[in-house]
């Protein structure tokens, strides 16, 4: 039985997604990278059955999307408070 290798982009997606949630000063950039890396890694794992890491890619993608949503909500709140101030 051949051991499957893990996609480096899946690992990068997960790391960027988690760091994007934890590090607010670079969170937006890391979240965008997590989404891009996750999408490419999912595509790679779909094409190559011997390539693992699909779960990590999905987790990184979800973390990136959640963090982008957080940033959008934060920007909307700041805009609302700036308008009413």
Domain edges within the chain: 5-84
pTM recorded for the entire structure: 0.87
Please report which confidence band the pLDDT of residue 2 belongs to, taking 50, 70 and 90 as the band edges.
Answer: low
Q: Which own/partner pairs from 25-29 qualify as long-range (CB within 8 Å, at least 24 positions apart)?
A: 27/67, 27/71, 28/67, 28/68, 28/71
**Which has the closest alpha carbon to 53: 35, 38, 33, 64?**
38
How far, rounded to the nearest angstrom, does the alpha carbon of residue 14 sit from its chain's CA centroid? 6
Question: What pLDDT is attached to residue 49?
Answer: 87
Please report which confidence band the pLDDT of residue 3 belongs to, taking 50, 70 and 90 as the band edges.
Answer: low
């Amino acid at each position: 039985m051949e051991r499957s290798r893990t996609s480096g982009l899946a690992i990068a997606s997960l790391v960027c997604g988690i760091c994007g949630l934890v590090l607010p000063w670079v969170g937006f950039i890391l979240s965008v990278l997590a989404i891009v890396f996750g999408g490419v890694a999912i595509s790679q794992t779909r094409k190559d059955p011997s390539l693992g890491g699909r779960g990590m890619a999905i987790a990184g993608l979800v973390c990136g999307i959640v963090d982008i949503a957080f940033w959008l909500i934060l920007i909307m709140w700041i805009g609302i408070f700036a308008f009413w101030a």
